[in-house]
Chains A and B, each alone.
Chain A
Amino acid sequence: MRLIVAYIQPHKLQDVKKSLYENKVFKMSVTNALGCGEQKGYHESYRGVDFEVNLLKKVRLEIAVNEEFVDTTIDAIIEGAKTGQIGDGKIFVLELAKCIRIRTGEVGSKAIG
């Protein structure tokens, strides 16, 4: 079992959701995130005073999958989120120790699927 965490551009979420759906990955959690990386941020000004915004708005996806779905999911995220510009985001794949479905008490691969 793996946990896939991806940080993407907020406006690419629709495309990522669509390509995940087309690849039969239906389960995900999405949260707002702020972050910075290669993309350095931008300037805002408020009543004549400048300030630098260096934490940019991002969206974080978390998807828990069984081994055989790892590559499909990664490919689907890339397909939806890639523009070729800096700021497209990153994908992290983590080992998942345990998974329990609360409703039934199922554990492991069954609980994920």
Chain B
Amino acid sequence: MNPFPIQDDLRELAELAGPHGVDLAALGGRIRRRRRTRLAVASGAAMALLATGGWLLPGLLAGGSGGPVGPAGEVTVRPAPSGSSDAALGKLDPEARQVVELLERVLPAGKVSVLGARGLHDKGLASPLGSGLFEPSAAVEYDDGHGEALVDVDLSRWSNPDTTKSPFTCAVGQGEPKPNGCRTVRLPGGGVFNLSRTDALQGAWNAVWTGTYAAPDGARVVIQEDNAPSDKGAAATRPQPPFDFAQLQRMATSPAWKTQLAAIPAAGGQSRDTNTPFGPDGIGAIFYRLIPSGFTTSGYNGAFQPVQGNTMVLTDSRGKGSVYSTELVGAANTPAGLAAFRKDYPNAVRLPNGDWLGSKQVAGQGGPGTEQYWVAVQRGNTRIEVVALNSVGPTGPRTRATPVLTIDQLTMIVESPTWGSGG
């Protein structure tokens, strides 16, 4: 019996939504009005079918309307290719293709169809463990003649692995689900290999086995295999995933990964320190780590908002002040996005590397003497913006003579490569 039938429960729950209640006449009126307005304001803009990147923080802080002034549009995401291996490989960029080729090299003989891949410098969005950069991965459908199976690999580097946790041990932390099976072996040279096994439960989910090789230098290879060609919605094609412990260990510890792993910089590696004050918030953690030394920090907020932003209060001998950061990924490099950036930062300059950098000093909203420093960079389709105040919160009274970080310090933060290279 499935003790926690999420899907069924969600469907039952959804029924509580009731009928849709759409008034077509009223809705049509709204659409026509909006179309007229849009035509009057702009023409030829990118399809605004998807969410507009709103910059409520800047709007509020600057005393503006708070309305969306950011770029509109859709993040360009490369769809996972499918089909024959050769055809799919051809659609991948060279770095992603390298990862697939390495996976194919370590796989035992069998038919391989590429499902997708991410190269060393492909930028994903930040995760709790890193900025989204330097996380090469590949997923394939593998068939050794006994049934198709999903196999995928992730490569990463952990800057400071916690050896009390998986994969170094089979300890299960509080609140963490217990796998059906787990085994860790110490390898010559100091690395470990761990297999964590979740077995199939008929009618609920397929088997998922995860092999992790953690090298002494923090490099990590994770290979995951299913007993089905997809991890969702596909019937099991075989009783168990294709590879046993020894095979997974051999694949994960293969020297074939060496070059890729070596190319993952330690500075861009994943941190075990997900316990920054922002919790599991990649962007918050990045921001936190970029704060110059000499401050004590408090007043953290914005956890679980890894895309949008975070705030905290910095304190030094001259007083305290709030800082904010936001990151918007998506379409910042469209004409509309650039226009919005230059509107927000009339003094914006184009840097030699093609980025745009802007800054401004504006009066605060907290009364006499309050002031705000703003710096933003537009890099590819990513816009990063940081703000420093000489007050706690945008409407608080002045708590120090000048904002807690200088324009130069803010500039160093936004220009940090740890934010990634954009989309």
| Co-assembled chains A and B | no
Which B residues are closer than 8 A to A by beta carbons? none
